[in-house]
Chains A and B, each alone.
Chain A
Amino acid sequence: DSGVTQTPKHLITATGQRVTLRCSPRSGDLSVYWYQQSLDQGLQFLIQYYNGEERAKGNILERFSAQQFPDLHSELNLSSLELGDSALYFCASTLGGWSADTQYFGPGTRLTVL
């Protein structure tokens, strides 16, 4: 157990809908990273938050957004869902704000868009 938690574990929804994924970092960690993992694209970095502020951005679609709250948990919002958004979504956390700090991954949320 990495200490990073994610909810829900599974999510099944329809095209055009909006969902929210939640991540709680390890105790004491200030940074949260979001990744998308699909079969053909591997692990793709989406976005990073550090102590409530956006720190780095990857290949995140405009339909996706995220935020980090004062208690340091983070939410990833996915809207206007398409079939291709079906994937495993992982968050990871680090103590500091650097991607070269050791990243600890949560158990993931499996999103299925029908």
Chain B
Amino acid sequence: GENVEQHPSTLSVQEGDSAVIKCTYSDSASNYFPWYKQELGKRPQLIIDIRSNVGEKKDQRIAVTLNKTAKHFSLHITETQPEDSAVYFCAASRNSGGSNYKLTFGKGTLLTVNP
């Protein structure tokens, strides 16, 4: 099955700096890569996702890049703010023919933005 590795497990940055979180996946057929943000005790919330037909996607201060050859994808947050502090999860999944495959999550990155 799919295996998703996420690094780093913790990341501390100063307000205004950029943050980068990286994930690798094992199943070369995976074609959907979402990122979720989870604040303490709250639900995971989708912040951005990318599908395998594109290499990069941006939404204001957040961007995701995908390298299918190397089987890795990254989350970039620019101009970080204290409210960006949370746990971020990457995930990967594929749909193939008539089969449905589960969404596999990385173990998460605790991002702390220091004022």
Q: List the A side residues contacting B93 at CB < 8 Å.
A: 99-100
Interface residues on A, range: 20 to 34
Q: How many A-B residue pairs have CB under 8 A?
A: 58
Q: Which residues of B contact A42 (CB under 8 A)?
A: 89, 105-108
Query: What is the interface of chain B mostly: helix, strand, loop, or mixed?
Result: strand
Size band of the interface chain B makes with A: 20 to 34
Cα separation A94 to B22 with both chains bound (whole Å): 26
Residue of chain A at shortest CB distance from B99: A56
Q: Write the residues of chain A forming the contact surface with B, with a CB cutoff of 8 angstroms.
A: 2, 33, 42-45, 48, 55-56, 58, 90, 97-100, 102-108
- Please tell me which one of the listed residues B43, B51, B94, B107 contacts residue A106 in the complex, with CB atoms under 8 A apart: B43
A106 CA to B38 CA, complexed, in Å:
12
Check: B44 CB closer than 8 A to any chain A CB.
Answer: yes
